[in-house]
Amino acid sequence: MEIDRLRDADNPPAAMEANRATADKITLDTDTDTDTGTDEHGDGDRAAACIEYRAIVDATYQAVARERWENAKPAFSAEWAEHKRQHPAPADVSPAIDEPARRQVEAGCTSIRETEETTVTPAMHRIESADPDRQLTGLEHRRKGEDRIMEKVARQLASQPDLTPDDALASVKDAIRYTFQYTEDRYTEGVESDVDRLKAAGFEQVELRNSWEHEEYKGINSRWRVPENGQLFEVQFHTGISFEAKQLTHPAYERLRNPLTPKGERDELRDFQRQVCTYIPIPPDATNTPDYM
């Protein structure tokens, strides 16, 4: 099943970018004029008009992008349902984990839960309260389930027998995870501010990966460390549409991670992710946020 491609005139990344470029040009021209220190040609009014115009452009861009995305979602959902009908999920039997290792992992999961509840989530709520124009979303999924953690640890131990259970557990970098969601026009500024807030809260930045230019995933993912005990947690930065797209394509991503998924299906899964990503508008300057490794 194939998603109908909308005409370029209906595509916000193509049709609206010209207006954004026009607004930026007016801003640059105004900045040049106002360097004279005079306002005899109405430069102050012109600057105010440019700001108002840019706000209208951004609001229109977001509204059109949202409408386009909402119109496409039913077809994407139908395509995924058809894919599952044609390609039943492969059996995924987790490796066995012995009882001593299981007890170690269970104790580690208790520590993870305590760190999340007493340290990380309270800090994330404080950070959220600093800016009412964006929000934490998907907070109910902030901690990975113990069964899923056990599965990941079992696979790590099976593939790397020299690892200890504690080392394998430490490799699960998204046992605690959060998502900040922004509007497109405030995304880049918001991400920069929240990265600074996370640092100010005392967390150590471990990694930041900017995937806005990636064909199969759009967004920014980061990892942080709690200094007191070394616990890692993940923070993702999304727009409303990029977050919904991530949720929609997550089952495809999980199948791609499964080594039992055949190559032919992998090609279809990647194509599905690419199709979805074409409906995600890239926020202004989002690609300029540098990676941190």
DSSP secondary structure, 233-284, as one string: EEEEEEEHHHHHHHHHHHHHHHHHH-TTS-HHHHHHHHHHHHHHHTTSPPPT
| pLDDT band (50, 70, 90) for residue 66 | very high
Q: Helix (H, G, I), strand (E, B), or coil: what is residue 97?
A: coil
Question: Given a cut of 70, is residue 274 above it in pLDDT?
Answer: yes
**Dihedral, CA of residue 161, residue 166, residue 168 and residue 174, to nearest 10:** 180
- Please write the tens of the pLDDT for every residue from 221-250: 999 999 999 999 999 999 999 999 999 999
Q: Mean pLDDT over all residues of the chain?
A: 88
Please give the residue that has the higher pLDDT: either 196 or 55. 196
Instruction: Please give the Cα distance from 37 to 100 (Å, whole number).
Output: 75
Find out whether 227 and 53 touch, Cβ atoms under 8 Å: no
205 DSSP 8-state letter: E
Domain at 99-288, CATH homologous superfamily: Beta Polymerase, domain 2 (3.30.460.10)
- Please write the tens of the pLDDT for every residue from 3-49: 444 434 345 554 445 445 544 544 445 444 444 444 555 677 877 77
Q: What is the reported pLDDT for 90?
A: 80
Can you list the pairs that 52-58 forms with residues at least 24 positions away whose Cβ atoms lie under 8 Å?
Answer: 53/23, 53/26, 54/20, 54/23, 54/24, 54/27, 55/185, 57/16, 57/19, 57/20, 57/22, 57/23, 58/20, 58/184, 58/185
233 Cβ neighbours under 8 A, 6+ residues apart:
116, 120, 174, 175, 176, 177, 178, 223, 224, 226
